[in-house]
Structure 1
Amino acid sequence: MEVVFLFIGIIIGIVVSKTNTVSCIIKKFYPEVEPEVTPEVKPTLNNAQNQDNQKKVVAAITAAIKYHREG
């Protein structure tokens, strides 16, 4: 039984090391491109709209909990 656990441990070690190696190679040759952030991308909500959205979210969550409890 110990031989089986040792064999499985060795296999897992090899797979993890190969995965890390391939990951490093991919990161080296294909670096992640950072997207440009512009201020126009995300519109800002005023305080009244934000509060209205929060009330809608709370109402939806409350309704879902009530529906789940009633079955």
Structure 2
Amino acid sequence: MEISLVAESIKFMFLGMGVVFSFLIVMILVLKGQSVILTKFFPQKEKELNIMPNITPISNIATTDAAKIAAVIAAVQHHKNLKG
């Protein structure tokens, strides 16, 4: 009796895995078909290339970085002074 229960549970396992696998395959095919249909009827517009988008001047970057570094150094020194 146990052998038939084990065999039947293995059958159900493969049946369940087969159903899930089949569903995933069908879902992939449907999504690919949907993609083909949408790109056929609604083509994507080409975007213009912006060769030089809003670029900040180097001087602003240098002063911002220098200000951040100075703030970090001041915070570390302040922390050391509080401990000692």
Tell me the TM-score normalized by structure 2. Answer: 0.53
- Matches of 1:28 and 1:44 in 2, distance apart? 37
Amino acid in structure 2 at the alignment position of 1:37: L
Q: Give the number of aligned pairs.
A: 56
Amino acid in structure 2 at the alignment position of 1:21: G
Q: Percent identity?
A: 18
Question: Over the residues paired in the alignment, what is the CA RMSD in angstroms?
Answer: 2.7
Amino acid in structure 2 at the alignment position of 1:23: S
Distance 1:50 1:13, change over 3 A: same
Q: In the alignment, what sits opposite 1:18? A: 30
- The structure richer in helix per residue is 2
Q: In the alignment, what sits opposite 1:8? A: 20
**Structure 2 unaligned regions, length at least 5:** 1-12, 72-84
Q: Structure 1 segments of 4 or more deviating over 3 A? A: 37-40, 53-56
Greater gyration radius: 2
Distance 1:39 1:9, change over 3 A: closer
**Structure 1 unaligned regions, length at least 5:** 60-71
- Matches of 1:14 and 1:3 in 2, distance apart? 16
Q: Residues 23-34 of structure 1 correspond to what in structure 2 (within 5 A)?
A: 23-34=35-46
